[in-house]
Amino acid sequence: MTAPATESRETTGCAARTVLLAMDFQHGIADRFAGTGVLERARAAVEAARDSGIPVVWVRVAFRPCYPEIAPTSGFAGISARAGETGMTEDSPATALHEALAPRPEEPVVIKRRISAFTGSDLEVLLRGPQAESLVLAGISTSGVVLSTLRQAADLDFRLTVLADACADPDEEVHRVLTQKVFPRQATVTTVDEWAEGLTGA
C-alpha cells in the first residue's frame, strides 16, 4: 500500500501511545456492507490491537430523542424526518454496535453527533488519557467518518494510519481514490494484515 508523503509519518509498526479508532460499525450503517468482508477485517484489526496492548476506542453516531442537535438548516435534518423509519437515537437498534465487533467492558464507546469522530463527542479529551500520539483508523464509510476524522486528526497533529481493507464505502471508486491518492498525503495507508505483522515484529 501507499506510504505518506512526509517522512515524519509513522510506519505500520506499533509506536508508543497508539490508539485504534473503530468507527461507525453500527447496525444502521454496517448492515449495508454485510458480505463485503469489511466487518471481518475490522474484527481482525481489533483483535490485533488487543493482542498488542493497543487501546481500542469505539465510535458511533447517535442523537438524543427528538434530535435537538439537528437544526432545520442542517444537512442532517433528513435524519430527524426519517426518525420513525431509521431511528438514530442513542437507544435505537440502528445505532447499536454490530455484534460481530462487540467492545470489551474496558473499551470506551464515544457518541458523536456529526460525521467526524471528534464533532460533538469527547474523543479529543478521551485520547488524552493514554496520551495518544498516533491513531489507526478503521470505519464505515471511507468518504464519511474516515475522511472527516482523518482531516481533523491531522489538524490536531496526530500521526495517522488508515487500514484500507477495514474501511468501506458505497462507491468503490471513491474508496479507491481516497485510499490510494488522498489519504497518503496525511497518513500511512496499509492493510490489516500488514499492520498486524508490523505489530508482531515491533
Concatenated DSSP letters of 55-113:
-EEEEEE-B-TT-TT--TTSTTHHHHHTHHHH--BTTSGGGSBPGGGPPPTTS-EEEES
Is the predicted pLDDT of residue 27 greater than 50, yes or no? yes
Q: CA 186 to CA 31: how far, in whole Å?
A: 29
Q: Confidence class of residue 77 from pLDDT cuts 50, 70 and 90?
A: low
Q: CA 117 to CA 24: how far, in whole Å?
A: 9
Please state the pTM of the whole predicted model: 0.88
Write the burial class of residue 196 (CB in 10 Å: 0-12 exposed, 13-18 middle, 19+ buried).
buried
Per residue in 150-175, pLDDT (tens digit) is 999 999 999 999 999 999 999 999 99
According to the model, what pLDDT value does residue 121 have? 97
Q: Please state which of the ranges 53-62, 146-155, 192-201 shows the lowest mean pLDDT.
A: 192-201
With cell 488487543, the residue in question is: 50
Q: CA 126 to CA 147: how far, in whole Å?
A: 20
Per residue in 100-155, pLDDT (tens digit) is 999 999 999 999 999 999 999 999 999 999 999 999 999 999 999 999 999 999 99
Amino acid making up residue 55: P
The percent of residues above 70 in pLDDT, for the chain, comes to 86
What are the grid coordinates assigned to 185, written together?
Answer: 498525503
In whole angstroms, how far apart are CA 33 and each of 21, 66, 140?
Answer: 19, 28, 9
According to the model, what pLDDT value does residue 3 have? 52
Q: Confidence class of residue 66 from pLDDT cuts 50, 70 and 90?
A: confident
Q: CA 58 to CA 80: how far, in whole Å?
A: 24
Query: 3-state DSSP call for residue 6?
Result: coil
